[in-house]
C-alpha cells in the first residue's frame, strides 16, 4: 500500500501522549535524551543486523546522529543512519501500544506527576516525549536494505491521529523533525542547545554532529560534539564522577544519580569490561518485584550491543544492578541459549556477583548512611542471596542489617559482625527471633531470660526472614539459635546448675500433671529457664516452623 492515509492512535496511545506531555512538563529537556537514545538504539540495531548481513552497512556510511535547528522555521531535527523502519514497523512501533510495557505503564501511573515522570522511558514511551515541546512532529524513515522508493513519512500533532505516506528517501535511517511550540525557543539557541546535546550524548558510542556556526547561524559544515566512544571503553583515570552519573542516567532513564558504581577491565584467559551501577531506589516497584522480568544489564561484544542479558549475567538477588558488560571473546552470533551454558559466560557472571558484593562491602564500610539507604530499598532482595548463592552466602550475610535488642527502636542497622563483637564471654550462639512485627519480637516472653542476662537478640520481622534463616546456619563460625525454639543452652556456672537441677526435681510432679491435662495439644511440658517475669510461654521444637509462619500458612489455607 503506497497511498496517503490518516489513522487514529489507539485510545491508549492518546492517553499515554496526554499523560507524558503533562508529567514531563517540569523535565522538558528529557525529550532530547529520549530521542538521542532512540537514534543510538537504531544504530546499535543496524550494527547488530549487519553481523549476519554486512551488505546492510554498504550504503550510508559511518553510523552517527546529526542534530540541526532552524530558528526561522522553528524546527529541531534529529537524524540517524541506523536501522530505519518500514511502513508496517512505523505503524507497529509508533502508533500502537503493542508492547505490554506500555500497558503496565498505564496501570502503574499514580497521578503524582513527579513519580509518574520517573516511569517514562522505562516503559518505552520515550518517543512521545517529543510532544512535550513540539506541536507537530514528522518522522521520515527508510529501512536499511530497502529501496529509496520505500521511504515513509509519519506526521502528527500529538492529538488523536497521524498521517502516513510513502516517500522517496535517499538515505537509510530516520529523521525526526520537531516543530517547536510557542515559548520553547530555548531549544533553538545554539549554545544552550549544544550544551544540552552534550549532556545527553557525551558517552554515546556514535558520533553526534551539529552544524558549525557561521555568523551565529548554523552552517553547512558539521562537527562532532560528543566524545563518541562508549564510556566503559575509556580509562577510569580519564572519567569524572559526573561522567559516570550522566552515563547512568542515559542508560537507565533514572532521574536520580546512582548510589555507587564499579568499573573494571579484566584481562586474562578472557577479557571483558564491567561497568555496574547500584541505583538509589528501585526503578519502579511493580516492575521490580517481578523476579521473571529482569532488565538493565546490557551485553556488548567488542562494542556491539547484543541484548539485555540481566537474567543471564546476574543472579536474581542482584536484579537491582544496572550497567554494561562488554566481552572481547564471546562470538557475535551468541544466542540466549548459548549464554545459558557458555563457560566464559559463567565466569563473567561470577565476576558480576563478586564485583557487586565488593562494591556493597565498600559502601557499607566507608559510607554507612548511604548503605543504610541502599539497604532500605534492596535489603530484602539481597536476602534472597542467602538462599540462592551458596558460594557467596557468608559475604552476603556480612552485608545484612538487623533490628536488635541492642537498639531502642526498630532500626535495622546491626550487622552480624557488630553482634559478634558484643557477644558475652562464653556465649556460643547468635540469638535471633522471628516474629510478625518488630514490637511482637521485642516484647516476646521468649527472649526474657536472654535479655535478663544482657544477651543481645536480633529481631527479625520481614516476611522473608524465616525462609532465609532456614539457609543461614552459621556466620564466622558462630551458629544461629532461634530464641523461641528448643532449649536455649545458655552458659551456666556450677551454682546455677545445681539450683536448676533441684528446681527440676521439685517441678517434676507438676509438669506431669500439666502434660496430662494438656494431652495431645502439646508435645512436652518443660521447666523453663528462659522466663524471668512471665509464668509460662509456648515454645517450638528446634525444627518447627515459627508460630507466625504457621499462622500465615493457616490463613493461606494450608
Cβ at position 87, least distance to Mg ion in Å: 20
342 contacts 309 by C-beta, under 8 angstroms: no
Cβ at position 466, least distance to Mg ion in Å: 42
Binding window for Mg ion (CB under 5 A); candidates: 16-24, 36-44, 212-220, 505-513:
36-44
429 carries a ligand binding annotation: no
Residue closer to Mg ion by CB (options 34, 389) is 34
**Residue 39 interacting partner from Mg ion, ligand ADP, none (CB closer than 5 to 8 Å by kind):** ligand ADP
Q: Where are the beta strands (DSSP E) in 367-419?
A: 403-404
Pairing of strands 151-156, 134-142: antiparallel
Q: How many helices (H) and strands (E) does the chain have?
A: 20, 19
- Residues at the site binding ligand ADP, with contacts judged by CB under 6 A: 34, 38-39, 41-42, 80, 82-85, 93-94, 124-127, 174
Residue closer to Mg ion by CB (options 31, 244) is 31
Q: Is 379 near Mg ion (CB under 5 A)?
A: no
Binding window for Mg ion (CB under 5 A); candidates: 62-70, 123-131, 323-331, 372-380:
123-131
Cβ at position 129, least distance to ligand ADP in Å: 8
Burial of 132 (0-12, 13-18, 19+ CB in 10 A): buried
Place of cell 558480576: 352
**Residue 125 interacting partner from ligand ADP, Mg ion, none (CB closer than 5 to 8 Å by kind):** ligand ADP
| Among the listed residues 227, 241, 233, 235, the one whose alpha carbon sits nearest the alpha carbon of residue 277 | 241
**Residue 93 interacting partner from Mg ion, ligand ADP, none (CB closer than 5 to 8 Å by kind):** ligand ADP
Residue nearest to Mg ion (CB): 126
Q: Is 84 near Mg ion (CB under 5 A)?
A: no
Cβ at position 127, least distance to Mg ion in Å: 6
In whole angstroms, give the CA distance from residue 197 to residue 383. 41
Going 420 to 422 to 427 to 432, the CA torsion angle's sign is: negative
Torsion of CA 237, 258, 120, 124, to 10 degrees: 60
Q: Where are the beta strands (DSSP E) in 302-389?
A: 304-308, 322-327
The residues that bridge with 134 in the sheet, in sequence order, are 180
**Residue 346 interacting partner from Mg ion, ligand ADP, none (CB closer than 5 to 8 Å by kind):** none
**Residue 413 interacting partner from Mg ion, ligand ADP, none (CB closer than 5 to 8 Å by kind):** none
Residue closer to Mg ion by CB (options 38, 446) is 38
Cβ at position 118, least distance to ligand ADP in Å: 15
| Among the listed residues 203, 230, 244, 248, the one whose alpha carbon sits nearest the alpha carbon of residue 303 | 230
Residue 264 host element (H or E): strand 260-266
**Residue 233 interacting partner from ligand ADP, Mg ion, none (CB closer than 5 to 8 Å by kind):** none
90 carries a ligand binding annotation: no
93 carries a ligand binding annotation: yes
85 carries a ligand binding annotation: yes
Residue closer to ligand ADP by CB (options 43, 314) is 43
124 carries a ligand binding annotation: yes
| Among the listed residues 409, 406, 410, the one whose alpha carbon sits nearest the alpha carbon of residue 430 | 406
Cβ at position 51, least distance to ligand ADP in Å: 18
Residue closer to Mg ion by CB (options 39, 459) is 39
| H-helix segments, 171-240 | 190-201
202 carries a ligand binding annotation: no
First to last CA, the chain: 60
Residue 27 host element (H or E): none
The residues that bridge with 75 in the sheet, in sequence order, are 70, 179
In whole angstroms, give the CA distance from residue 391 to residue 350. 10
Q: Is 126 near Mg ion (CB under 5 A)?
A: yes
Residue closer to Mg ion by CB (options 128, 244) is 128
101 carries a ligand binding annotation: yes
Work out which of 38, 175, 262, 342 binds Mg ion, going by CB under 5 A. 38
Q: Is 252 near Mg ion (CB under 5 A)?
A: no
336 carries a ligand binding annotation: yes
Residue closer to Mg ion by CB (options 246, 342) is 246
| H-helix segments, 161-306 | 190-201, 241-252, 285-289
Binding window for Mg ion (CB under 5 A); candidates: 30-38, 76-84, 236-244, 259-267:
30-38
In whole angstroms, give the CA distance from residue 524 to residue 545. 17
| Among the listed residues 100, 101, 120, the one whose alpha carbon sits nearest the alpha carbon of residue 110 | 120
Cβ at position 125, least distance to Mg ion in Å: 8
The residues that bridge with 273 in the sheet, in sequence order, are 265, 326
In whole angstroms, give the CA distance from residue 234 to residue 269. 21
The binding site for ATP consists of: 34, 38, 80, 85, 93, 100-101, 122-127, 174, 336
Binding site for Mg ion (CB under 5 A): 38, 126
The binding site consists of: 34, 38, 80, 85, 93, 100-101, 122-127, 174, 336
Amino acid at each position: 500500500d503506497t497511498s496517503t492515509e490518516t489513522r487514529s492512535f489507539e485510545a491508549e496511545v492518546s492517553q499515554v501522549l496526554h499523560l507524558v506531555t503533562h508529567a514531563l512538563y517540569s523535565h522538558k529537556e528529557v525529550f532530547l535524551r529520549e530521542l538521542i537514545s532512540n537514534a543510538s538504539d537504531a544504530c546499535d540495531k543496524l550494527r547488530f543486523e549487519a553481523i549476519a548481513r554486512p551488505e546492510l552497512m554498504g550504503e550510508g556510511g559511518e553510523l552517527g546522529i546529526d542534530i540541526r535547528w532552524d530558528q526561522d522555521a522553528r524546527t529541531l531535527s534529529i537524524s540517524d543512519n541506523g536501522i530505519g523502519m518500514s511502513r508496517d514497523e512505523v505503524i507497529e512501533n509508533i502508533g500502537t501500544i503493542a508492547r505490554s510495557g506500555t500497558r503496565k505503564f498505564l496501570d502503574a501511573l499514580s497521578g503524582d506527576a513527579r513519580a509518574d515522570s520517573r516511569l517514562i522511558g522505562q516503559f518505552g514511551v520515550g518517543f512521545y516525549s517529543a510532544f512535550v515541546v513540539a506541536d507537530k512532529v514528522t518522522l521520515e524513515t527508510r529501512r536499511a536494505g530497502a529501496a529509496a522508493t520505500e521511504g515513509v513519512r509519519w506526521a502528527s500533532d500529538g492529538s488523536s491521529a497521524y498521517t502516513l505516506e510513502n516517500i522517496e528517501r535517499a538515505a537509510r535511517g530516520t529523521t525526526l523533525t520537531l516543530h517547536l511550540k510557542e515559548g520553547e525557543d530555548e531549544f533553538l539557541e545554539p549554545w544552550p542547545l549544544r550544551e544540552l546535546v552534550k549532556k545527553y550524548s557525551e558517552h554515546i558510542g556514535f558520533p553526534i554532529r551539529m552544524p558549525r556556526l557561521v555568523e551565529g547561524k548554523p552552517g553547512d559544515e558539521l562537527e562532532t560534539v560528543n566524545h563518541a566512544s562508549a564510556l566503559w571503553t575509556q580509562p577510569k583515570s580519564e572519567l569524572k564522577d559526573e561522567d559516570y552519573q550522566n552515563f547512568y542516567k542515559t542508560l537507565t532513564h533514572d532521574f536520580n544519580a546512582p548510589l555507587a558504581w564499579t568499573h573494571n577491565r579484566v584481562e586474562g584467559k578472557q577479557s571483558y569490561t564491567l561497568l555496574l551501577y547500584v541505583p538509589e531506589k528501585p526503578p519502579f516497584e511493580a516492575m521490580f518485584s517481578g523476579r521473571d522480568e529482569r532488565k538493565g544489564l546490557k551485553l556488548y561484544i567488542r562494542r556491539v550491543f547484543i541484548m539485555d542479558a540481566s537474567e543471564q549475567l546476574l543472579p536474581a538477588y542482584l536484579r537491582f544492578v544496572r550497567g554494561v558488560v562488554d566481552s572481547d571473546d564471546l562470538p557475535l552470533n551468541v544466542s540466549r541459549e548459548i549464554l545459558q551454558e557458555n563457560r566464559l559466560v559463567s565466569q563473567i557472571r561470577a565476576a558480576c556477583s563478586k564485583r557487586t558484593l565488593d562494591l556493597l562491602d565498600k559502601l557499607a564500610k566507608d559510607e554507612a548512611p548511604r548503605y543504610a539507604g541502599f539497604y532500605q530499598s534492596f535489603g530484602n532482595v539481597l536476602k534472597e542471596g542467602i538462599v540462592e548463592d551458596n558460594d557467596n552466602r557468608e559475604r552476603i550475610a556480612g552485608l545484612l542489617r538487623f533490628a536488635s535488642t541492642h537498639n531502642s527502636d526498630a532500626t535495622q542497622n546491626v550487622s552480624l559482625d557488630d553482634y559478634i563483637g558484643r557477644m558475652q564471654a562464653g556465649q556460643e550462639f547468635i540469638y535471633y527471633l522471628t516474629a510478625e512485627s518488630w514490637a511482637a519480637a521485642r516484647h516476646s516472653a521468649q527472649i526474657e531470660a536472654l535479655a535478663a542476662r544482657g544477651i543481645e537478640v536480633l529481631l527479625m520481622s520481614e516476611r522473608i526472614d524465616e525462609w532465609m534463616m532456614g539457609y543461614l546456619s552459621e556466620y564466622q563460625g558462630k551458629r544461629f539459635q532461634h530464641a523461641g525454639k528448643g532449649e536455649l543452652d545458655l552458659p551456666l556456672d556450677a551454682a546455677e546448675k545445681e539450683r536448676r537441677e533441684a528446681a527440676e526435681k521439685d517441678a517434676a510432679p507438676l509438669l506431669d500433671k500439666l502434660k496430662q491435662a494438656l494431652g495431645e495439644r502439646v508435645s512436652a511440658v518443660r521447666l523453663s529457664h528462659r522466663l524471668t517475669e512471665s509464668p509460662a510461654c509456648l515454645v517450638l521444637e528446634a525444627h518447627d516452623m515459627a508460630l507466625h509462619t504457621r499462622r500465615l500458612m493457616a490463613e493461606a489455607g494450608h
